[in-house]
């Protein structure tokens, strides 16, 4: 057992170290992405204060009125009905293949609000999934997930007194001890979550990197696989223009009888300009773990039911439960906050592991040869940039959203550019400064940006804030306050922590 | 005393362990997933979703083992066995 523990120590220490600069970024952006919709909502203040109608039916009718008038030729219309989570009626359509546009509809007046061009929360979600680097990025993220699993299991193997140490945290003693305790506590207390989140994350994108069974049965075609799981009632194009659209109310009521009253959250209208246009109603997904949406489908010209799907194959549901556990569409704000806190716990585990490595080995590497000393110096600085620097860059992204002109061309890409440029700058800063100073300056910098964000928001988008509160939408204010609290936490860490 | 010997072994052994863990583990998991996909008596889509749900359970121990093995050569043992067995079962199952 001792030999195994020693062997696993090297894997845990070195495997953990080398992957953690990237793993922290994946964990942090994933944590933020739990609230990606709220981030997007905050980042488009122009769209925040449209009031939805009293009933979902009226909302659906208002959305359809707008789309029929403004975008009759679009290949598909997408209507997100207001929900507890995001109280906005949102319509969207592909302006060009792959390029979707969206508007918030004020159901009472019929006006459409167009927000400033931004990736919003998708920036964090996309970075989390693929580092904004396409398929190569997906593979790299998969590697971090695999290594997180390997590090977690090896960590348990090497932790001799895992039950005795369960609640041990000694912040005042020897610094190395405190860092080890912090690493252990955040790792062990949340161990089921860490194992679950890493495993389910890998499962989400199996088609990209573990397609063996998919290749056997579906020639590697993930769409063909999905078509087996999700019933499609889409009609082929009739190539004839659509006659009048049938009234939506009977369809809506019929869909509610199938899916549940008050449970319709999303509508799609396929090929609305074609005679074979169809309307799809989707049930919301916030009350089940398996990430599958029941749906009901109707002909658009006469409201006839084409078919519905309210039951799912057990193996499909089982797999989609893994996806659901990762993305957490269920449980509303309570679950989202739990995932946020657990995600932060994961970030603390990885960050404290990185710092522990350098703190523990500082005396050893001070006396080592030039190669090891150089490696160690770089490692220490990578720690600063990948932890504090990333947090600073995340805040800078939010600032770019408020400070870049709303009308600026290409501002969505520019915001992401600010994120990466800031992150690169923090790396250069970390390479130029002594390590403790680099930590302090970047942590205080991030803290300052977070604490000042509510003020910047009030100055640059104060009207929106006031109007959204008046309309009963507390998300923008909640976002400001949460970022402020994060700022307080960062300032406290900067003050108290000896790095 | 596997651990002490491992630390004194050279870069070649370490590299071999890493290759066995990541590369060998990948091949073994791939073959195992393929085998699972044809061996379970399920509909094609069901088999794929089941394989997708379970396959990474195979990869994790295959990453850990090479670092517990006595040397960089023995590190490849399980990866090779699982890859060959998996590939055989996959081939036999797909041929049916």
| Average confidence (pLDDT) over A151-155 | 95
* CB-count burial class (<10 Å; 0-12, 13-18, 19+) for A252: buried
Using only C-alpha atoms, what is the Rg of chain B?
16
The answer to whether A203 contacts chain B (CB < 8 Å) is yes
Closest by alpha carbon to A2, among B71, B1, B85?
B1
Of B7, B53, B63, the CB nearest to A146: B63
- What is the DSSP secondary structure assignment for residue A234, as one 8-state letter? P
pLDDT band for A242, please (50, 70, 90 cuts).
confident
ipTM of the complex: 0.94
Of A6, A7, A149, the CB nearest to B60: A149
CA–CA separation, B38 vs A214, rounded Å?
10
The answer to whether B96 contacts chain A (CB < 8 Å) is no
Q: Which two tokens stand for residue A116?
A: 């400033």
pLDDT band for B3, please (50, 70, 90 cuts).
very low
- Average pLDDT value over all residues in chain B: 91
CA distance A323 to chain B (A): 10
Closest by alpha carbon to A404, among A389, A417, A422, A420?
A417
A305-314: b (≥16 Cβ within 10 Å) or e: eeebbeebbe
Using DSSP's 3-state secondary structure scheme, residue A46 falls into helix
Q: Which two tokens stand for residue A302?
A: 């006469």
For the four alpha carbons of A141, A142, A144 and A145, in that order, the dihedral sign comes to positive
Which positions 76-95 of B are in contact with A (Cβ < 8 Å)?
A: 90, 94
Residue A117 has pLDDT above 50, yes or no: yes
β-bridge mates for residue A96, sequence order: A99
Give the residue from chain B lying closest to A7, CA to CA. Answer: B3
User: What residues contact A143, with CB distance under 8 A and at least 6 apart?
Assistant: A19, B22
pLDDT of residue B92: 93
> What is the greatest pairwise CA distance in chain A?
83
The answer to whether A156 contacts chain B (CB < 8 Å) is no
The answer to whether A214 contacts chain B (CB < 8 Å) is yes
Which positions 277-316 of A are in contact with B (Cβ < 8 Å)?
A: 313-316
Contact A180, A356 (CB under 8 A): yes
The answer to whether B65 contacts chain A (CB < 8 Å) is no
pLDDT band for A360, please (50, 70, 90 cuts).
confident
Residues of B in contact with A9 (CB under 8 A): 3
Beta-carbon separation of A213 and B51 below 8 A = yes
Which positions 76-95 of A are in contact with B (Cβ < 8 Å)?
A: none
pLDDT of residue A496: 84
| Average confidence (pLDDT) over A441-449 | 97
Beta-carbon separation of B67 and A11 below 8 A = yes
Contact B50, B36 (CB under 8 A): yes
pLDDT in tens, A164-222: 766 677 776 667 888 888 899 899 999 999 999 999 999 999 999 999 999 999 999 99
pLDDT in tens, B43-78: 999 999 999 999 999 999 999 999 999 999 999 999
DSSP string, B35-54: HHHHHS-S-HHHHHHHHHHH
Of A154, A202, A212, the CB nearest to B33: A212
Residue A11 has pLDDT above 80, yes or no: yes
CA–CA separation, A188 vs A194, rounded Å?
9
């Amino acid at each position: 057992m001792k030999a195994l523990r020693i062997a696993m120590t090297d894997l845990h220490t070195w495997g953990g170290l080398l992957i953690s600069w990237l793993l922290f970024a994946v964990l942090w952006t994933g944590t933020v992405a739990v609230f990606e919709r709220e981030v997007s909502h905050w980042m488009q203040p122009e769209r925040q204060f449209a009031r939805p109608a009293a009933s979902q039916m009226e909302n659906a009718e208002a959305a359809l009125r707008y789309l029929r008038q403004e975008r009759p030729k679009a290949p598909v219309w997408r209507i997100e009905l207001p929900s507890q989570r995001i109280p906005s009626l949102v319509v969207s359509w592909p302006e060009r293949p792959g390029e979707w546009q969206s508007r918030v509809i004020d159901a009472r007046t019929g006006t459409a609000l167009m927000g400033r061009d931004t990736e919003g929360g998708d920036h964090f979600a996309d970075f989390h999934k693929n580092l904004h680097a396409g398929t190569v990025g997906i593979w790299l993220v998969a590697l971090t997930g695999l290594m997180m699993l390997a590090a977690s299991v090896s960590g348990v193997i090497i932790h001799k007194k895992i039950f005795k140490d369960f609640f041990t945290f000694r912040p005042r003693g020897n610094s190395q001890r405190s860092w080890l305790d912090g690493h252990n506590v955040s790792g062990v207390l949340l161990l089921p979550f860490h194992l679950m989140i890493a495993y389910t994350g890998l499962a989400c994108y199996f088609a990209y990197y573990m397609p063996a069974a998919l290749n056997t049965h579906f020639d590697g075609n993930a769409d063909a696989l999905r078509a087996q799981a999700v019933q499609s009632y889409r009609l082929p194009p009739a190539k004839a223009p659509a006659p009048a659209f049938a009234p939506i109310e009977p369809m809506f009521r019929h869909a509610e009888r199938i899916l549940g009253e008050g449970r319709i959250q999303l509508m799609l209208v396929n090929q609305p300009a074609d005679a074979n246009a169809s309307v799809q109603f989707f049930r919301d997904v916030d009350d089940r773990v398996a990430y599958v949406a029941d749906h009901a489908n109707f002909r658009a010209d006469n409201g006839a039911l084409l078919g519905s799907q309210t039951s799912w194959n057990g193996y499909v549901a089982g797999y989609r439960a893994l996806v659901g556990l990762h993305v957490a569409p269920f449980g509303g704000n309570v679950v989202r906050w739990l995932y946020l806190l657990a995600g932060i716990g994961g970030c603390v585990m990885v960050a404290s592991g990185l710092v522990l490595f350098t703190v523990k080995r500082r005396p050893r590497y001070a006396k080592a040869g030039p190669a090891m000393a150089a490696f160690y110096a770089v490692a220490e600085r990578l720690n600063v940039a990948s932890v504090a620097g990333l947090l600073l860059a995340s805040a800078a992204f939010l600032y770019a959203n408020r400070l870049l002109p709303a009308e600026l061309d290409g501002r969505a890409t520019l915001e992401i550019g600010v994120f990466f440029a800031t992150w690169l700058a923090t790396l250069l800063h970390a390479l130029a400064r002594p390590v403790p100073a680099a930590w302090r300056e970047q942590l205080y910098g991030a803290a300052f940006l977070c604490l000042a964000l509510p003020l910047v928001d009030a100055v640059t988008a104060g009207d929106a804030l006031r109007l959204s509160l008046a309309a009963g939408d507390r998300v923008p204010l909640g976002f400001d306050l949460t970022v402020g609290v994060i700022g307080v936490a960062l300032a406290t860490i900067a003050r108290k922590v000896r790095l | 005393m596997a651990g002490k010997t491992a630390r004194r072994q050279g870069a070649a052994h370490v590299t071999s362990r890493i290759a066995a863990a990541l590369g060998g583990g990948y091949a073994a998991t791939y073959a195992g997933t393929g085998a699972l996909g044809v061996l379970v008596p399920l509909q094609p889509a069901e088999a794929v979703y089941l394989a997708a749900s379970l396959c990474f359970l195979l990869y994790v121990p295959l990453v850990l083992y090479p670092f517990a093995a006595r040397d960089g050569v023995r590190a490849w043992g399980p990866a090779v066995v699982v890859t060959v067995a998996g590939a055989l079962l996959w081939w036999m199952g797909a041929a049916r």
